[in-house]
A and B are shown apart, each in its own frame.
Chain A
Amino acid sequence: DGGITQSPKYLFRKEGQNVTLSCEQNLNHDAMYWYRQDPGQGLRLIYYSQIVNDFQKGDIAEGYSVSREKKESFPLTVTSAQKNPTAFYLCASSILGLSYEQYFGPGTRLTVT
């Protein structure tokens, strides 16, 4: 997981509340990503960012928001509009370029009741 931290590891929220997941990297990577993992569905891309103050929607952006005010940080907010927010959330980063792999953080398990 080296170089990417996510906090907290476990998060519990009541339905209707917004919640923000933290992601920080010290790898000096330009690109950062948020994925959602559900059992049997693999990873699905929520948002990604190539540069500070710019980000793009992934495949399942509805109900989520992000910001990229610093190169090192890419927080994800799960809003009350997300209909099924309980999941394992993974943050990743990479060097820009076709051949570079992504490095993943340890993940945050969000449970909304």
Chain B
Amino acid sequence: AQSVAQPEDQVNVAEGNPLTVKCTYSVSGNPYLFWYVQYPNRGLQFLLKYITGDNLVKGSYGFEAEFNKSQTSFHLKKPSALVSDSALYFCAVRDNTGTASKLTFGTGTRLQVTL
């Protein structure tokens, strides 16, 4: 069965500094990986995905993620953090045994960006 680990419950960064939110995964076969963001009392918003191709994936709001097959990682990055980026971030891996797009989510990392 597939799994996702987000080793940090919270990441703190100053506005303007680069940020990284870590994610490692375990899955049989080719990985299909996703990042979502959640603001308080809201649903999840899709940020980006890795399906195949370039290891550096660009997404919404200036976020990008680096896929590393040898380290089974898919870390979320942003060159310059904004206070408005403060939210809960989820990494997810796709169950690739069927077409129903079942996702397994990590436990989430809370990003706090301060002035």
* B residues lining the A interface (CB < 8 Å): 9, 32, 34, 36, 41-46, 49, 51, 90, 94, 96, 99-103, 105-108
Contact = CB atoms under 8 A, between A and B. Distances in A.
A40 B107 contact: yes
Contacts of B96: 98
B94 A106 contact: no
Given A40-B108, A48-B102, 20 more contacts: A6-B43, A41-B107, A42-B107, A42-B108, A50-B99, A58-B102, A88-B41, A94-B101, A96-B100, A97-B99, A98-B32, A98-B99, A100-B101, A101-B34, A101-B49, A102-B101, A104-B43, A105-B43, A106-B43, A107-B41
22 contacts: A33-B102, A40-B108, A42-B90, A43-B44, A45-B102, A45-B103, A48-B100, A50-B99, A56-B100, A92-B43, A92-B44, A96-B100, A96-B101, A97-B99, A98-B99, A99-B49, A102-B101, A104-B43, A105-B43, A106-B43, A107-B43, A109-B41
Interface residues of A, number: 33
A44 B46 CA distance: 17
Contacts of B41: 88, 107, 109
Contacts of A107: 41-43
Interface of A: 1, 4, 6, 31, 33, 40-45, 48, 50, 56, 58, 88, 90, 92, 94-107, 109
A95 B44 CA distance: 17
Contacts of A33: 102
A104 B9 CA distance: 23
B22 to A, nearest CB: 15
Nearest to A93: B101
Contact of B44 (A31, A44, A45, A90): A90
